[in-house]
Structure 1
């Protein structure tokens, strides 16, 4: 009985996946700083370790190279199994091209579950697209996406299909890992795919080392972007068809001009109602589509005209003519 009482409980270590944001301490969250402070062990890519050097004095440091992500995760689990608190750091956000995914893969492979003695916490941080957008204006005010040009783990045809799809769909796009010493052609191919769908003068912002000592910002256009100084520390922001650059600021309109007359004090345009969908919103578009069809446009013609899949057009046209009444806008609706 005495042996049972004297036996210490199993070690309960913890892995904290810390997003440190762009790298400057003032742009880290308080929770990120606290997590590093309470950690016994700090693990990360050598460059990221340098970024938090002022916060890790006296701690056990494990430095890894760029391609050793799985090794970082394994080291974190080993240390946590010994009862240590581990800060596994990523620049930006740990869940956006960061260490959260690889760590969970390693954990699951090792038989870990959320009930395990080793606890896991993800601490979010500002990703490169947020940080770089803040430096150049407001390019992400409308729909956007992020695509990594790194083909170290993703087949190029997969990346190319994604580039082509988002270029056609008119997303604002943030390109991560656009170019390295060995990977120089990927950005050229991305440019080629975008020029199939976008104007040559589409605004582009290239931010290198945002919020770091060697920060550099270049504004250019889609047809010129591949000639700019781009590297692994760069994020490339490609605007959509409405994005513009004015007074050194890159801005993507939210769409208020579609509904309101901006030159007339913001009065509602003819045919539009505040708090309701646009006349070209879903219900208005459905009515227009069926009108066009009734006037002789076939499915193939409508699909090409609206740049939508034919089977989708066919399914919409097959629905009953009775359209539901649109609900009054709620607080969550925008404009």
Structure 2
């Protein structure tokens, strides 16, 4: 049941939570998405749950990202929400509606992406029959237009016509290895006019055929010049379909070549590299395309042919797994989890985690980033091992793996992005320069605390770490003094610890020497995590005993102000105090 992209399980109210947890057990990497304010946080709550604010926008975001959706609500609600995005049947993810009590499972969209397979999986868990309405699936027991991984339809339009003909009473024969159809209830006849053909050869337009291409062709070229046209010409010269491409192989000297990467994207094939060209000599062209294939770890039964355009083709009799061909360009993505709540993690960070082969980070943060699939490797380390962790990440990524380095908050704010760049800058490892490096921003603890309080960072501010593990305390004192003199709002990270309980008081002494006792102060502890608390006080009332290592301390400027308001609709509600710094300056 495992999928590269785990499904999102959406609920609108607490009555659906029990069913959602049952489905989460069916898809261990899936997360439950809860509507804010409608599902109470109780014993069944999970810190990995994602909280959303508006169903329509959230559903459309998931759909647009290709995430499978299991919505525990009325089918009509889901249809109306995603209707504006319905355009390409071949690109839609699976979308299902499930009754809150688990009494009905209705596949809605994604017939070509396995929605009916998911419907049967979910129905088996809930012990109910799935409400499958696809005619071909009901008649034949499988979706003929949804071949397994490693195969591709020649034409969806022709495929739909072909299935319609079978439903109308025509028979078919199967040519080639279509093992996934062995148990299908197809109307077969050995001399039928209609045929399902499994072949890497290009479809000739015959409307009596449903052509499915095994991705069994590997292309090798030694340079990127006019790559797309040359590859297409090479395939056409041998009658091969573009959809049969399993991988494009290039010399290792081409890693980072944007033209090659764009060609692979245009042809819809993964790009792989071998060291053949660099072994042969200094010039990338010294190794022939055929030599590249000889070092690409291809299946032994491949037929290799050369073309007039300097490209070599390897044709296997079965689909080729691109992960076994050469090696991919490694990728290292540095992400921030945000302050801790899953709904405050940016979608790009979540996508990077889903695609990762390896996840590294401080053990506490790695645990927060889970759960992970069985095929993902996790490398938790101690909080003080930043440079070793960064070097390990590059070592993994330079071998072709997709690595994610996890930080809390924003990775560029007192976190791992700086360590990663320092490792790259100082290591002198040429292979590390070939790694595709991406830094994904996150919601920092200061930003999350400020948002809870109002807008104390609404004007100029600075962020300061009070930890002297990586810089002398004298520098910290100097910077605090200058920030106070400049009348900046200050956000203190790492304010106290067991080893240095005195430093916050020292910092406050510097601030109090100039800043008024009524200056607004915000204390945010574990904002975005279970048990979060927010306190607003003043500089005069603030005590260091009110603060621990997990507290964000925001000290306002001379213009920062606070005010309290009680809801006019609920006179019994507590007064809410808001803190903000005006955008003007007097």
What TM bracket, shorter-length normalisation?
0.7 to 0.9
Q: Is the Cα–Cα contact under 8 Å of residues 187 and 226 in structure 1 kept in the other structure? A: no
Indicate how the Cα distance of structure 1 residues 114 and 131 shifts in structure 2: closer, same or farther if over 3 A, else same.
farther
Distance 2:553 2:441 in 1: 22
1:161 CA displacement: 0.5
State the partner residue of 2:581.
Answer: 252
Indicate how the Cα distance of structure 1 residues 222 and 197 shifts in structure 2: closer, same or farther if over 3 A, else same.
same
1:94 CA displacement: 0.8
* Equivalent residue runs for 1:1-335 within 5 Å: 2-8=290-296, 9=326, 11-55=328-372, 58-112=375-429, 116-247=433-564, 248-255=577-584
1:115 CA displacement: 8.8
TM-score normalized with structure 2 length: 0.42
Q: Which sits farther off after the overlay, 56-65 or 188-197?
A: 56-65
Indicate how the Cα distance of structure 1 residues 213 and 115 shifts in structure 2: closer, same or farther if over 3 A, else same.
closer
1:113 CA displacement: 6.9
1:15 is paired with a residue of what secondary structure? Answer: strand
State the partner residue of 2:59.
Answer: none
1:190 is paired with a residue of what secondary structure? Answer: helix
Distance 1:56 1:237 in 2: 38
Distance 1:221 1:198 in 2: 11
Q: Is the Cα–Cα contact under 8 Å of residues 424 and 433 in structure 2 kept in the other structure? A: no
1:50 CA displacement: 2.0
Distance 2:355 2:461 in 1: 36
- Provide structure 2 residue ranges, at least 5 long, that are not aligned to the other structure: 1-287, 297-325, 565-576
1:245 is paired with a residue of what secondary structure? Answer: strand
Indicate how the Cα distance of structure 1 residues 117 and 225 shifts in structure 2: closer, same or farther if over 3 A, else same.
same
- Provide structure 1 residue ranges, at least 5 long, that are not aligned to the other structure: 259-335
1:56 CA displacement: 5.4
1:54 is paired with a residue of what secondary structure? Answer: coil
Whichever of the two has the greater Rg, that structure is: 2
1:54 CA displacement: 2.9
State the partner residue of 2:151.
Answer: none
Q: Is the Cα–Cα contact under 8 Å of residues 178 and 234 in structure 1 kept in the other structure? A: yes
Deviation string, structure 1 residues 120-158 (Cα, Å, up to 9, x no partner): 100110111111100111101111110110100111111
Distance 1:114 1:167 in 2: 45
Indicate how the Cα distance of structure 1 residues 54 and 169 shifts in structure 2: closer, same or farther if over 3 A, else same.
same
1:192 is paired with a residue of what secondary structure? Answer: helix
Point out which structure has higher relative CO (alpha carbons under 8 A, 6+ apart). Answer: 1
Indicate how the Cα distance of structure 1 residues 202 and 57 shifts in structure 2: closer, same or farther if over 3 A, else same.
farther
Distance 2:385 2:367 in 1: 17
Q: Is the Cα–Cα contact under 8 Å of residues 395 and 432 in structure 2 kept in the other structure? A: no
2:396 is paired with a residue of what secondary structure? Answer: helix
2:419 is paired with a residue of what secondary structure? Answer: helix
Deviation string, structure 1 residues 235-288 (Cα, Å, up to 9, x no partner): 1000011112211111112228x5xxxxxxxxxxxxxxxxxxxxxxxxxxxxxx
Distance 2:534 2:373 in 1: 30
1:111 CA displacement: 2.2
